[in-house]
Amino acid sequence: MAEILARIASEQHGVVSRAELLDAGVAVGEIERRLNSGALLPEYRGIYRVGHRAPSREARYLAAVKACGRGSVLSRCAAAHLHRLIKGRPPPPEVITTTERRIEGILTQRSRTLDPRDVTEVLGIPTTTVARTIVDLAAILDLDTLARVCHEAGVLHGTTPNDVAAVLQRRPNSPGAAALRTVLHGDVHVTISTLERRFLARLEAADLPLPQTNRPAGGRRVDARWPAHRLTVEVDGYRYHRSRHAWEQDRRREREARARGDEFRRYSYGDVLEEPRFMLAELRALLRHPTPAPSPGR
């Protein structure tokens, strides 16, 4: 029994279900003895923590999913926190279930059919995908926050507006769908970081035309674009560009910008905040006159 508990606990954030113990050959009487001794601690009906209740987001979320039955998945704000799309204290568990469930401490939403394309696993916890999580969040987030979540999804996971639009196509009447479409189409003016805000302030102080910010271009979002001048700019803060994934995404954005006929420039923290005169001189030259669109076939 001790070996079985140790194995399951190590694989499942210290969470085990009664059904799993029975399937592993543990007798009902042994389960009861462990409950009486405190070796198993009830979390929900038929769901136990092994040995202790030390605070653990993963244990809390996995226990909630297990309590809601087969086919259940973590969703909405809890899924967003697990995907690192939102910060702060972990929200209460929210779970999509295939049958009606009312469990104290768990926010549940019933869905008779959950598309397999909308389900993934994060840290061993069945969870809605990043794109599906964004669609579900659209019902409860304001536009600015929703746009920031979409940006985080692109930076952290490479999720594109097209990925989210594919989920929306399957769920066209989802609450918040109209608001989310305005974000995906780039109709929400939002700057994501302090660096981007300072970049725009530099442009304004230099009397340069302001760009579109964080709008889709070539299937993914870009920091700043002047369509009439066929110019795309990315500003690189350390937080969003320190991983290999982010580095790969940056190179891809540059290739896509050049493929659509744009000039491409990348400016660093130092360019924007410490020594902006060279950046501003270059932008002034690039933004002097609109650039004609490339001829077809070229």
pLDDT-derived band at 259, boundaries 50, 70, 90: confident
Question: 204 with 181, same domain?
Answer: no
Q: What is the pLDDT of residues 7-52, one digit of tens each?
A: 777 788 889 999 988 888 888 998 899 888 888 899 999 999 987 7
Spatial separation of the C-alpha atoms in residues 196 and 296, rounded to whole Å: 34
- The answer to the question of residue 170 being in a domain is yes
Q: Are residues 24 and 144 in the same domain?
A: no
Domain range spanning residue 15? Answer: 1-52
Looking at the structure, tell me whether residues 174 and 201 fall in a common domain.
no
CA distances (Å), 254 to each of 150, 209, 243, 259, in order?
A: 20, 22, 17, 9
Share of the chain above pLDDT 90, in %: 46
For residues 160 and 213, membership in a common domain is answered with: no
Query: Which residues, other chains included, contact 259 with Cβ-Cβ below 8 Å and sequence gap of 6+?
Result: 218
DSSP-derived secondary structure for 244-286: HHHHHHHHHHHHHHHHTT-EEEEEEHIIIII-THHHHHHHHHH
Same domain, 75 and 164: yes
Q: Are residues 91 and 48 in the same domain?
A: no
Residue 297 within a domain: no
The one-letter amino acid code at 156 reads: L
Q: What pLDDT, on a 0 to 100 scale, did the predictor assign at position 62?
A: 96
CB-based contact 235:223 (threshold 8 Å): yes
More confident residue, 58 or 243: 58
Regarding whether 74 and 27 lie in a shared domain, the answer is no
Model pLDDT, residue 98: 87
Q: Do 198 and 119 share a domain, yes or no?
A: no
The pTM of the full predicted model, rounded to 2 decimals, is 0.70
Domain identity same for 81 and 161: yes
pLDDT digits (tens, 9 = 90+) for 108-132: 998 877 899 999 999 999 999 999 9
**How far apart are alpha carbons 265 and 231 in whole angstroms?**
8
- pLDDT value at 60 more than 90: yes
Please count the structural domains in the chain. 3
Q: Are residues 169 and 103 in the same domain?
A: yes
Q: Are 79 and 52 in contact (CB under 8 A)?
A: no
Residues 28-34: contacts with CB within 8 Å, 24+ apart? Answer: 30/1, 34/1, 34/5
Residues 72 and 171 in one domain: yes
Check if the beta carbon of residue 181 is closer than 8 Å to that of residue 208: no
Residue 269's pLDDT is 87
